[in-house]
């Protein structure tokens, strides 16, 4: 029977547990999560297992990355199921700090990411988000001191922000981006998919279909502006409230007008009912 991962909830006990790995010269991979794990997260775990001897998964629903009007209180918390999944995957350690351990009374320091964090994508609609992510991720890196960390490409701008932070602050670890895992109908896996009504769940995969179609048209030489305008209309006509659908340089996230400005990435954020979905695709 697989062994249940060691669960740590305070920084001193976490450090003690990690010291055992370090003493034996074992490398450590960190997979940061907010729990509500799905197959996309488990794919990150499997990639982590290929990259290091020991895998630590953090589970922490980070209040600092939610605006007051967002879904912090109703964000799905499924710790027992998460533990069962991580046990089956053979994860070594789960770092599930209490809110007090992460943000003790008097906590007053925040990372202010720029560059990709100001690309005019997620940051335009969630201005608080990347500061909250960068702060908690920097803390997780300092707490766990991993050799490598795995982030999903589904949160593409987040992956860029974390990569930039690690480079800028000389953090001694490697950031690996993992491909998005999709449902059979193309919907990108996300903990927030649990919010979708049956009707909206039926409509949701259209986002991926439109992105794929647009990527194909851009590749075959159609003008980017026209393709993106038509793609945006298709998304809106299906009943989504569109925040953005943009073609950007895949490395810098700078706006593009031609394939010569590439490599290109299409990025989308749209609301269906009360659920906000984000996704992206390479051209
Ligand atoms: O992508 C997420 O689940 C979160 O933004 C992260 C990286 C775990 C930080 O809270």
Q: Which residues' Cβ are closer than 6 Å to ligand 1?
A: 32-34, 62, 65, 133, 136-137, 155, 158
Query: What is the Å distance from ligand 1's center to 190 Cα?
Result: 12
Query: What is the Å distance from ligand 1's center to 216 Cα?
Result: 30
pTM: 0.97
Domain membership flag for residue 246 = yes
Angle at 191 (CA atoms; ends 188, 196), nearest 5 degrees: 80
Mutate to test the pocket of ligand 1, among 155, 159, 176, 177 (most ligand atoms within 8 A of CB): 155
CB 84 within 8 A of CB 94: no
Q: What is the pLDDT of residue 1?
A: 76
For atom 3 of ligand 1, the residue with the nearest CA is 33
Q: Domain end: 178, 202, 229, which one? A: 178
Q: What is the pLDDT of residue 25?
A: 98
Q: Domain end: 178, 211, 244, which one? A: 178
Q: What is the pLDDT of residue 250?
A: 98
The CATH number of the domain holding residue 200 is 3.30.1300.10
The CATH number of the domain holding residue 70 is 3.40.50.620
Q: Is 41 a catalytic residue?
A: yes
**How do beta strands 93-95 and 54-59 pair?**
parallel
Closest ligand 1 atom number to CA of residue 60: 10
Q: What is the pLDDT of residue 106?
A: 98
Residue 174: enclosing H or E segment and its boundaries? strand 174-178
Residue 95 pairs in a beta bridge with 8, 58
Mutate to test the pocket of ligand 1, among 158, 175, 180 (most ligand atoms within 8 A of CB): 158
For atom 9 of ligand 1, the residue with the nearest CA is 133
Query: What is the Å distance from ligand 1's center to 50 Cα?
Result: 21
Closest ligand 1 atom number to CA of residue 140: 9
Residue among 174, 275, 234, 237 at smallest CA distance from 266: 234
Residues 202 and 141 in one domain: no
Query: What is the Å distance from ligand 1's center to 162 Cα?
Result: 10
Containing domain of residue 130, as a range? 6-178
Q: What is the Cα–Cα distance from 9 to 5, expressed in whole angstroms?
A: 13
Residues 140 and 18 in one domain: yes
CA distances from 59 to 38, 224, 253 (A): 13, 40, 28
pLDDT along the chain (283 residues), means of 10: 93 98 98 97 98 98 95 94 98 98 98 98 97 98 98 98 98 98 97 95 98 98 97 98 98 95 96 96 98
Domain membership flag for residue 186 = no
Give the count of domains, the chain.
Answer: 2
Q: Domain end: 178, 213, 238, which one? A: 178
CA distances from 153 to 162, 190, 226 (A): 12, 12, 26
Q: What is the pLDDT of residue 2?
A: 84
Q: What is the pLDDT of residue 262?
A: 83
127: helix, strand or coil: coil
């Amino acid at each position: 029977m697989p062994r249940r991962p060691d669960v740590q909830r305070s920084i001193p006990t976490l450090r003690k547990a990690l010291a055992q790995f370090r003493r034996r010269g074992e490398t450590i991979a960190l997979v940061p999560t907010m729990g509500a794990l799905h197959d996309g997260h488990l794919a990150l775990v499997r990639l982590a297992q290929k990259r290091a001897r020991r895998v630590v998964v953090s589970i922490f629903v980070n209040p600092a990355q939610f605006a007051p009007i967002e879904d912090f209180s109703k964000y799905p918390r499924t710790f027992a199921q998460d533990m069962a999944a991580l046990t089956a995957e053979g994860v070594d350690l789960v770092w599930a700090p209490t809110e007090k351990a992460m943000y003790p009374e008097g906590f007053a320091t925040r990372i202010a990411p720029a560059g990709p964090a100001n690309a005019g994508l997620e940051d335009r609609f969630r201005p608080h988000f990347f500061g909250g992510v960068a702060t908690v991720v920097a803390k997780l890196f300092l707490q766990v001191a991993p050799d490598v960390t795995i982030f999903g490409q589904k949160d593409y701008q987040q992956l860029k922000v974390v990569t930039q932070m690690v480079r800028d602050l000389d953090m001694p670890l490697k950031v690996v981006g993992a491909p998005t895992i999709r449902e059979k109908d193309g919907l990108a896996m996300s903990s927030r998919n649990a919010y979708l009504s049956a009707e909206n769940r039926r409509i949701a995969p259209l986002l991926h279909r439109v992105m794929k179609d647009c990527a194909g048209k851009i590749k075959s030489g159609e003008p980017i502006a026209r393709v993106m305008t038509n793609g945006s209309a298709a998304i809106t006509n299906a009943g989504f409230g569109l925040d953005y659908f943009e073609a950007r340089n895949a490395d810098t996230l700078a706006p593009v007008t031609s394939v010569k400005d590439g490599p290109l990435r299409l990025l989308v954020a749209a609301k269906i009912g009360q659920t906000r979905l984000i996704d992206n695709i390479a051209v």
